Structure 1
């Protein structure tokens, strides 16, 4: 029996308790296969609450009701849980001023395996009803790449807007990643234009599985997110997708196929970036 990769798609609300209850209800639909990697979307614990509210509810690193509940869910279902992003308290000069968009990973024993803070922040203009996004005003950017060992593969952590920066994904591959997760909350406009192309491209370039769950639908603050959560194999094929609505998608992970693809097309060893950088 192959290990299983699972993505959970949500229309998250403002209140963490409501969203955690949704996650626990959807966890009942998980495949019975173990081991299993389960990934939640970006901002799964609170969406539409507003940046000031997120700053106020940001938990200290390593403690707080959201983190405790996530650890309990991972342990109860004996899964490796990648908990999208939640707001954690900022550090240094940003303490009390900005929060970190932290992607937390928990093992089947409930112990935390790692934390990745979103590096690339969504400071863009989009032709939708929000018009202008300035994530860096309230969010402290991360500065480190992160991988975890989930037992059957090395998993690289990335979040949403990161997908537009292929150098991050190359660094994760160089750090050993065989799977890269991408919790997201793509806008409908950018999602329709680029979502599938970007996620498949990162899978093809780095010869990794991509597990990319998204937020979907209209949220309490009026934002509309694209959904279309997907799981992509290391050949760039979409092997599971949920276009609309909340739900769970799953697909088998084949580590032997990753090895074979990398052996037959050894792009990591053939890269000539040293040549292209010469003047």
Structure 2
């Protein structure tokens, strides 16, 4: 995934977790999770399947990410909802904004038809207008442009005093997570 800043600076991310169905496509996994400072926010990438690995978003949040960009190409409606629900869980867990940018239609190559409904997501709390945590949402399987406002002041206020302070509480109790042997070996 690539993004360019207003002065032409270029940032890139290589997917760190290849989806099982993609493993025969001769793709290589990256090994870095980085956050980039853009004029409007600190931004990181989770590409598609990475959204389903909670540690990917948590790593970005711990580096200061306020917004995670998640491009995805899902082959089925079930695959779409799996990624979308995980994207929203990452918003709530890390108290960040997330843009889920979906590839739709039939792009060709190794990709069959893709199921899509792009969105801009927020944590679910009373400070955001939509109780479902959806700032903007595209039409299903249609070419579409969406826009929405993200307010970093509201995000930080919510991290400190919202109904669910998951980001702060996870950090507050970080020591207890190190007591148990890791399930990741």
- Please classify the TM superposition score into its range, dividing by the shorter chain length: 0.7 to 0.9
1:111 aligns with: 9
TM-score by length of 1: 0.55
Give SS of 1:249's match.
coil
C-alpha deviation, 1:136, in angstroms = 5.7
User: CA separation in 2, counterparts of 1:255 and 1:194?
Assistant: 27
Runs of 4+ in structure 1 off by over 6 angstroms are none
Report if aligned partners of 2:80, 2:116 keep a CA contact under 8 Å in 1: no
Matched, 1:230 2:126: no
Matched, 1:268 2:177: no
The one of 36, 40, 63 equivalent to 1:152 is 40
1:248 aligns with: 145
Give SS of 1:194's match.
helix
The one of 96, 104, 117 equivalent to 1:216 is 104
- RCO (CA 8 Å, sep 6+): is it higher in 1 or 2? 1
Give SS of 1:203's match.
helix
Give the number of the structure whose alpha-carbon radius of gyration is greater.
Answer: 1
- The 3 A distance-change label for structure 1 pair 214 and 192 is closer
- The two structures, once aligned, show a CA RMSD in angstroms of 1.9
Identify unmatched segments of 5+ residues in structure 2: 125-131, 181-185
User: CA separation in 2, counterparts of 1:137 and 1:244?
Assistant: 25
Between structures 1 and 2, the one with greater strand share: 1
The one of 75, 94, 112 equivalent to 1:187 is 75
Report if aligned partners of 1:230, 1:241 keep a CA contact under 8 Å in 2: yes
- The 3 A distance-change label for structure 1 pair 276 and 149 is closer
C-alpha deviation, 1:171, in angstroms = 0.8
Give SS of 1:218's match.
coil
Q: How does 1:164-183 map to 2 (within 5 A)?
A: 164-183=52-71
Q: How does 1:48-197 map to 2 (within 5 A)?
A: 103-112=1-10, 114-123=11-20, 133-135=21-23, 137-197=25-85
C-alpha deviation, 1:192, in angstroms = 5.0
User: CA separation in 2, counterparts of 1:119 and 1:192?
Assistant: 19
C-alpha deviation, 1:199, in angstroms = 1.4
C-alpha deviation, 1:251, in angstroms = 0.3
1:100 aligns with: none
Report if aligned partners of 1:122, 1:136 keep a CA contact under 8 Å in 2: no
C-alpha deviation, 1:245, in angstroms = 1.2
How far does the alpha carbon of each residue in 1:138-183 deviate from its partner, in whole angstroms, 9 at most, with x for none? 1111000111111121011110010110111111000000111101
Report if aligned partners of 1:121, 1:136 keep a CA contact under 8 Å in 2: no
